[in-house]
Chain A
Amino acid sequence: MLRYALSRIGQTAGLLLGIAAVTFTLLYLVPADPAAQVAGRSATHEQLESVRHEMGLDRSVIVQFGDYLLHLAEGDFGRSYVQRSPVSTLLLSRLPATLILLAGAIFAELVIGLSAGIIAATSRGAAVDRAVMIFAFIGVSTPRFVMGILLLYTFAVELNWFPVGGYGGISHLVLPALTIGVLGGGWYSRMMRSSMVEVLHLDYIRTARAKGAGEWRVVMIHALRNAFLPILAMIGIDMGQFVSGSVVVEAVYGWPGVGQLMWQSIQEIDIPVIMAITLIAAVAIMLSNLAVDMIAPLVDPRIKLK
C-alpha cells in the first residue's frame, strides 16, 4: 500500500509540474506581449519597458518559469490585469459560494441519480428502465445553460417559486443546484443502474432472498452498500470537475463563485485570472483522482493494487 501510495504521489507531482508548464506557456509565451496588456494601450515605449522589467519579462524563459513555480508554491497567482488585485484574493473571496453550490449540486445529483438508477435496475427491460436511459441521454445532451435558463424561466419567472438568480439563502441555491442535479443525475443513474444490476446477480443477494429478506431490504440494504462503491469514485471525479462545470451555471444564475469570476474574466480577457482558474481546476481534478485511487482500496478490499 505504501509503495503504491508513494508511486501515485510521485506521478501526481510530475503531472503538477506539467500542468504549471502548460499554464505558464499560455500565460507568458503565447500572448504577443503580456506587458502591453498590463500597461494599457496608451503606454509609451518607456513605460512599456519598465512594466516589462517589473514583470520580469526581460529575463530568460527558464528563470521566469522557476519564478512562476516559486510564486505558485507560495499561493501567489499573479495580479489581475483588470482589477489590479492579487488573483489569490479574488479566488478566496469566491470560493465559499462555489463550495456551497458544489454541496447542493452533488446532493441533487445523488438524490435524482440514485433513485432513478435503482428504479431502472429493479425494473430491467420495462418501460421505466428505458425512460431512465433516455433521461440519461438527455442529461448528457442538454447544455447546462439551456437547462439553467429553462428552470429559471419555469420556476422563477413563470411560477415565482424561487428568486430569479442571485445569492443568499437556500431558495437561491435550489435552481442552480437542480440544474446540475438534473443533467448530472442522468450520468449517475446509468452508473447506479449498471452497478446495481451487477450486484443483484451475486450469490449473497440470492442468499438474502432465500433467507426471506423482503425485496426492499435486499435492494436498499444488501445490494446498495456494494453497488455504491463505483458511485463513490464518481463523486470524487465529479468534485474535481466542478470548477469547470460551475462556470456556465454561475453565469446563468449570477452566483458569485469561482465560475462567475471565470465568466467575468472572459468578458474582460483577464488572462491571469483565467489561467489561475484553469490551473486550479486541473489541480483539483488531479487531486480528486489521487484521492479516489487512495480511498478505493481502503473501502473495497477486493481492489488489487498495481
Chain B
Amino acid sequence: MSKHLRRHWLGLTGAGVLSMIVVVALLAPLIAPYDPYTQLLDGITADGSPLPPSAQHLLGTDLLGRDLLSRLLYGARTSLIIGLIANGLSITIGTLLGVIAGYLRGLLGAVIMRFTDLMMAFPALLLAIALSALLEPSLWIVALVIAMVNWVSIARVIYTETLSIRERDFVTAARGLGATSPRILVHHILPHLLPTILVWTTLGIATSVLLEATLSYLGIGVRPPVPSWGNIVFENQTYFSSAPWLVFAPGLAIAMLAFSCNLAGDALRDILDPRELGQGR
C-alpha cells in the first residue's frame, strides 16, 4: 500500500486539490466575503480602475468594482456544473452509443460509428463555437454544447472495449446459459467497462472545464454577470498590464483544476489497468 502511495503521490495530490475545489464550490455562499454580483461603491478608485489586493479585498476588485475572490469562489460553481453536467452528459451519450454500436454491431452499429467518425473530423473547439453562435448561450446551453462535442472520443473508446469484451468467454458462457442481451449488457459487459468510464470521467472534467473556459474567454460561453473563470479573464483582460492579478488568478484556477483532474485520471488509469503497470515508467 505504501508503495502504491509513493507511486501515485501525484495522482493523490490531484484528487486532493480536486476535492478542495468541490468543497469550495459547495461552500461558496458561506466563505465568500462579498456578494459576487454587487458592484461595491468603494470597490473602484476615483479614476475608475480596479483596486489592488488588500486586507478588505484579498485579490482586489474587478473592473466593475466587484470583489474578485468572491467571483472566483462562485466561479468554481460554474466549473463544477460544467464538470458534472456537461461531462456527465457526454460520458452517458458516449457510453450508450459506444456500447450499442459495439454490442449490436450490424447496420445500426455501423451507422453510429460512421456518425462518430464524422463528428471526429470536426475540431471540438470550432464545432462548439459554431453551435454556441447559433444558440443563445446560457450556462446550461454551454453545458449542452460541450456534451454534444465531447461524447465522440468516449464513444470510440467504449466501442473498441465493448467489441473485445463481447468476444470473451464469460459472455459466450452467459449467452449459452440463456441470458438475454439486456442482462448481458448490464451484468457482464458494463462492469468491465466501469474502469474505463471512471478514468474518462476524471479526464473529461479537465477537457470540459478547459473548453468552457476557452468558450467563455472568447465571449461565447457563460455570459457575465454569472461568474466563470473563463469570462472573468474575458472581462478583465484590458487591465492585464496594470492589474495582472485580475487575469492570472482565474487563469491559475482553471489550470489548477484541469491539472489536478489530469493527474488523478492518469493515476486512476495506472491503478485500474494492470496491463499498463510498469510499462515505460
A residues near B, CB below 8 A? 15, 18-19, 22-23, 26, 30-31, 124-125, 134, 137-138, 140-146, 149-150, 152-153, 157, 164, 194, 197-198, 241, 243-245, 247-248, 251, 262-263, 266-267, 269, 271, 274-275, 277-278, 281-282, 285-286
Contact = CB atoms under 8 A, between A and B. Distances in A.
Interface string B252-276: 1011001101110010000000000
B240 interface: yes
A137 B258 CA distance: 9
B126 A137 contact: no
Given A18-B121, A247-B126, A271-B134, 11 more contacts: A137-B262, A141-B210, A141-B261, A141-B262, A146-B248, A146-B255, A157-B241, A266-B133, A266-B220, A278-B130, A282-B121
B70 interface: no
22 contacts: A15-B121, A30-B134, A124-B281, A137-B263, A138-B259, A141-B259, A144-B214, A145-B213, A145-B217, A145-B233, A146-B248, A149-B240, A149-B251, A198-B280, A245-B123, A245-B125, A266-B133, A269-B133, A271-B134, A274-B130, A278-B122, A278-B130
By size class, the interface of chain B is 35 or more
Nearest to A244: B123
B118 interface: yes
A142 B255 contact: yes
B118 A248 contact: no
B105 to A, nearest CB: 18
Given A137-B262, A141-B206, A241 B220 contact: no
A19 B121 contact: yes
Contacts of A282: 121-123, 126
B121 A275 contact: no
Interface of B: 10, 114, 117-118, 121-127, 129-131, 133-134, 206, 210, 213-214, 217-220, 230, 233, 237, 240-241, 244, 247-248, 251-252, 254-255, 258-259, 261-263, 266, 280-281
Nearest to A275: B130
Nearest to A23: B130
Given A274-B133, A278-B130, A138 B218 contact: no
Contacts of A153: 240-241, 244, 247-248
A262 B129 contact: yes
A248 B214 contact: yes
4 tightest A-B CB contacts, nearest first:
A244-B123, A146-B251, A141-B258, A141-B259
B130 A143 contact: no
A146 B259 CA distance: 14
Contact of B254 (A19, A31, A146, A285): A146
What DSSP secondary structure best describes chain A's contact surface? helix
Contacts of A278: 122, 126-127, 129-130
Nearest to B125: A244
Contacts of B237: 149
Contacts of A157: 240-241
Nearest to A241: B123
A241 B281 CA distance: 29
A213 B227 CA distance: 60
B62 to A, nearest CB: 16
B40 to A, nearest CB: 25
A143 B131 contact: no
A194 B281 CA distance: 9
- Most chain B beta-carbon neighbours within 10 Å: one of A124, A251, A266: A266
Contact of A26 (B134, B230, B252): B134
B78 to A, nearest CB: 15
B50 to A, nearest CB: 16
B217 to A, nearest CB: 5
A140 B265 CA distance: 13
Contacts of A262: 126, 129
Given A15-B121, A149-B237, A137 B259 contact: yes
B251 A150 contact: yes
Contact of A281 (B126, B251, B263): B126
Contact of A22 (B118, B124, B230): B118
Nearest to B203: A140
B134 A31 contact: yes
- Most chain A beta-carbon neighbours within 10 Å: one of B10, B122, B237, B240: B122
A275 B114 CA distance: 22
A81 to B, nearest CB: 11
A293 to B, nearest CB: 14
A12 B262 CA distance: 33
A15 B129 CA distance: 21
A89 B230 CA distance: 32
A19 B206 CA distance: 27
Contacts of B266: 137
A22 B122 CA distance: 10
B200 to A, nearest CB: 15
A18 B121 CA distance: 10
A261 to B, nearest CB: 12
Contacts of A150: 248, 251
